[in-house]
Amino acid sequence: MRGFCFRLTGGAADGPRLGVLQTPRGAIHTPAFMPVGTQGTVKGLTGEEVRETGAEIVLANTFHLYLRPGPEVVAHAGGLHRFMAWDGPILTDSGGFQVFSLESLRRTGDEGVTFRSPIDGSEHTFTPEGVLEIQRRLDSDLVMPLDVCLGYPADDAQAKEALRLTMLWAGRSKVRGVAPHQMLFGIVQGGFSAALRREAAERIVELDFAGYAIGGLSVGEPREVGYTLLAEVTPRLPADRPRYLMGVGSPPDLLAAIARGVDLFDCVLPTRVARTGVVFTRSGRLSVRSARFRDDHAPPDPTCQCRVCRTYSRAYLRHLFHADEMLGPRLATFHNLAFLGTLLGEARAAIAAQRFETWARGVLAEYRTSW
């Protein structure tokens, strides 16, 4: 773990916290949102454009890159950073979520999980050690071990077995280790049981990982259930290690998690909804495809200073989507990531000024979920 250092610079250990995660490829100022570049690309944007949105780190997917183009191709290119022309830090997930979403195409045992490729039906096996080797060849910076992620609902029996496998594989991953320039996280699972979540957090901390991820939330459970379970976990994680909540990206959920002491986030939501014509604004989500924007020449979000909002109108974006022009999804994607970049920047400033709760309350009072 050479060149890695995480330090808190403000806030409270288990409340809103301000920090810097220093990596060999640059600093990440937390709380931070990581745009998702599943296939080695944040869909529709260049690396320079992703940087312009304020992102300091991106996420890529081990499962998808393993299947296509293959880790050997990425390694031959000099690693994922060179392959995708991104010189900042990259987090690679283990691919476990994708594997376990293939319910009819997988078999799970203590050794690992065997699955059939959704691309060509070929059979593959992921083991804890194998997944780390794939990520070593990808040459990412932050590395996730293989785990078992359940959907909602899940009973305690399912959650206990998922936790058993996750801990078994976490122990093997810690023994296997990663390259000296990589940072290995442990993942907290436990389903939707507060007791199992507490147990999972305490047991994963005993293994002493460099950082800790919280998985298996934002998978269909009621919002308050996720918040409650998050509050059970974060106080049990070391204050001096980064905390990463997997798969969360809506503005209300980001602020709620920051209030509970989370540092890092990722989610496909901002880019996925952008491709359907939905943009984030201070007053909620807005579908620019709506007929009411035909003659609306205001910016997508009048409060936003990103280059999309400085240049283009709702009417123009609506036209692009209805004309099936690729520029529409590109502009909406850029804006949504820039919106979150600005929001997280304001959150950091509010934490530094010791006014996060007041600031967040004002943001949430204005924001409403609207399609």
Q: Given the DSSP bridges, would you call strands 58-61 and 32-34 parallel, antiparallel or unpaired?
A: unpaired
Is the link from the previous residue into 69 a cis peptide, with omega within 30 of 0? Answer: yes
Residue by residue, what is the 3-state secondary structure of 29-73? Answer: EECEEECECCCCCCCCCCHHHHHHCCCCCEEEEHHHHHHCCCHHH
Q: Which of 87, 93, 301, 324 is catalytic?
A: 93
Residue 128 in tokens: 């804890």
240 given a catalytic annotation: no
Burial of 147 (C-beta count, 10 Å sphere; 0-12/13-18/19+): buried
In DSSP terms, 18 is beta-bridged to 10
Q: How many CB atoms lie within 10 A of CB 137?
A: 20
Residue by residue, what is the 3-state secondary structure of 323-355? Answer: CCCCHHHHHHHHHHHHHHHHHHHHHHHHHHCCC
Q: Which of 120, 266, 296, 324 is catalytic?
A: 266
φ, ψ of residue 340 in degrees (nearest 5): -70, -35
93 given a catalytic annotation: yes
Residues annotated catalytic, as ranges: 93, 266
